[in-house]
Amino acid sequence: MSETKKTDAGASVPRQASAPEDREVLLRVEGLTKHFPIKKGILQRQVAAVKAVDGIDFEVRKGETLGVVGESGCGKSTMGRVITRLQDPTGGSIHFEGRDITRLSTAKMRPLRRDIQMIFQDPYGSLNPRHTIGSIVSAPFRLQGVEPEGGVKKEVQRLLELVGLSPEHYNRYPHEFSGGQRQRIGIARALALKPKLVVADEPVSALDVSIQAQVVNLMDDLQQELGLTYVIIAHDLSVVRHVSDRVAVMYLGKMVELADSTKLYETPMHPYTKALMSAVPVPDPNRRGAKSDRILLKGDVPSPIKPPSGCRFHTRCWKATQVCKTTEPLLLELRPGQRVACHHPEGAPDQAPQDVVLLSAAREAAELVPDEVTDKAPAEPVATGSDKAPAEPAAAEEAAVTEEPAAEKAGSASDSAAAEADRQESTDQ
């Protein structure tokens, strides 16, 4: 892992000296599930469930930033809300600093609210318009009964300065601020109690692109200064890329790849990750115009009420074979620092080399589009777009502080979707 993190502006900031894998685990999640029941009839009997999060395992180490990416509806926000215990899990376990917090009651979770905080996507909806900035940022002190040294007002003003706002903004109201400034206020509120873990759900996606880098860089600076640990949820891979030590890719309630950031971006192993990566514009001006192809996945993400059997991605994967339809792949460390759940990973030994016949749908699953075409007429990107409903102001305020609220794949997997399909064509004939 590199010793520096790059900001969008190209500046480099020093990273923590130790490699992420050597750091102590702060949060450990095992077999986590969150199913939302669907009820019908007068008796409100459960007829089905939305399997928003359906068995995920990962850990977050002290001082690191774990980015979580995936298409809209794949369960990222639900995962964020469950690991912060704003929602109860259906199954699995959550350990924070070695302590099992999976089933802690609201009362028992309250002291832990100081250590685990959340930053919400919508800087407009998450601040109560009737409250002053001073009142909003000081809410965590009131709710936790904490009296900071020097008094609440002084501490709030210090926090405002810390996030790049003026202490004089104390008596102003949210509507007087821009989106970027409001998100800074949300960050100040989340940091008020000096949390150990901050889960940021799409912290910049509601902001103007020109402001996004500022807020991301602010979060990065605060991490260095305060020794924070972040889980940053984003649909925009370019946001996560610059700040994450490791990145987890989610698809339909499952984690399909979890890897050191550099490895994931340079050599993605899961076909879904590869498709996501190919949708990210190349930021290097020297490479702009260089020929590269993008993989456009066809079809929509299937319903989480009745997810596909086996590997959930098999209905959209150009490498899918029979085993993908019948057997769920485990998330395995196939390269050091890179875990992937795929029978036919890229750049690693095939996990099912005997299973060589592509599913007929696989040939139609993805399309390779040369860069020039997508540049002229940008097609629907693979995994962008988040049209989340804005958080309720009061709910968000409370939530931030309290509970209340492959024909011949064998070994060398091809790098291109078309090549895979072509190969299948020829074997079929």
Ligand X SMILES: Nc1ncnc2c1ncn2[C@@H]1O[C@H](COP(=O)(O)OP(=O)(O)OP(=O)(O)O)[C@@H](O)[C@H]1O
Contacts with ligand X, residue ranges (CB under 6 A): 36, 50, 52, 70, 72-78, 235, 304, 386, 388
Identity of the residue, 202 or 346, whose beta carbon is nearer to ligand X in the bound complex: 202
| Residue 242: CB minimum distance to ligand X, A | 19
* Nearest to ligand X of 337, 390 (CB atom): 390
Instruction: List the 332-335 sheet strands across, edge first.
Output: 116-119, 197-201, 229-233, 65-69, 246-251, 254-260, 338-340, 332-335
Nearer to ligand X, 74 or 348 (CB): 74
Q: What does the alpha-carbon distance between residue 201 and residue 194 come to, in Å, rounded to a whole number? A: 18
CB-hemisphere CA count at 13 Å for 232? 33
The smaller minimum CB distance to ligand X, of residues 370 and 385, is found at: 385
CB of 125 to ligand X, least distance (A): 14
Q: Which is nearer to ligand X, 75 or 123 (CB)?
A: 75
**Relative orientation angle of helices 152-162 and 179-191, to the nearest 10 degrees:** 130
Compute the least distance from the CB of residue 234 to ligand X, in Å.
Answer: 9
CB of 38 to ligand X, least distance (A): 8
Q: Which residues contact 240 (CB under 8 A, 6 or more apart)?
A: 67, 68, 69, 232, 234, 247, 261
Nearer to ligand X, 15 or 241 (CB): 241
Minimum Å gap between C-beta 270 and ligand X is: 17
10/41 with CB nearer ligand X: 41
Which of helix, strand or coil describes residue 260?
strand
d(CA 402, CA 30): 24
Least distance to ligand X from the beta carbon of 154, Å? 37
Cβ of residue 72: shortest distance to ligand X, in angstroms? 3
Residues 6+ apart with CB under 8 A from 332: 339, 340, 341, 351
Whole-angstrom distance, CA of residue 141 vs CA of residue 171: 17
What is the DSSP secondary structure assignment for residue 168, as one 8-state letter?
Answer: G
